[in-house]
Amino acid sequence: MDIDWNSFARYDDGQPLGRLDVVFDDLDAFMQKICADKVIREALRKTLTTIKLINTHDKNALKMELKVHTLFLTVQLAGSSFLSQTDIQIASYVEGLLKYSD
């Protein structure tokens, strides 16, 4: 896990840091879901080595991207509302990119 702490700490209200537990809960559920299957777990091991969390104030910048063994998750945790990817969204995205070998 690689967290861009500056992107979370730059807001005076502290909301992004206080809302990280929601993101961590979804990441935990994602890992449990995707690792329940042995074949998927093995494909994940070969594909993903790092999860990079980045915070933004712009809800339109929310994204998931897998590049060079790193899953980049940009979340919007600042402001009166917040957006982040759910465990189901993350699992569906990552599983769709995995290469399986029998």
What are the boundaries of each domain within the chain? 2-97
Mean pLDDT of the chain: 89
Residue 102: pLDDT over 70? no
CA distances to 43, 45, 85, 87, 92 from 38, rounded to whole Å, are 9, 10, 24, 19, 16
pLDDT of residue 71: 97
Whole-prediction pTM: 0.87
Q: What is the pLDDT of residue 100?
A: 63
Of 94, 97, 76, 85, give the one whose Cα is nearest residue 26: 85
Q: Please check whether residue 40 is in contact with residue 33, taking contact to mean a CB–CB distance below 8 angstroms.
A: no
Q: For residue range 37-48, what is the model confidence (pLDDT) as tens digits? A: 999 999 999 999
pLDDT at 98 over 90: no
Read off the pLDDT of each residue in 9-18 and give the average, rounded to a whole number.
76
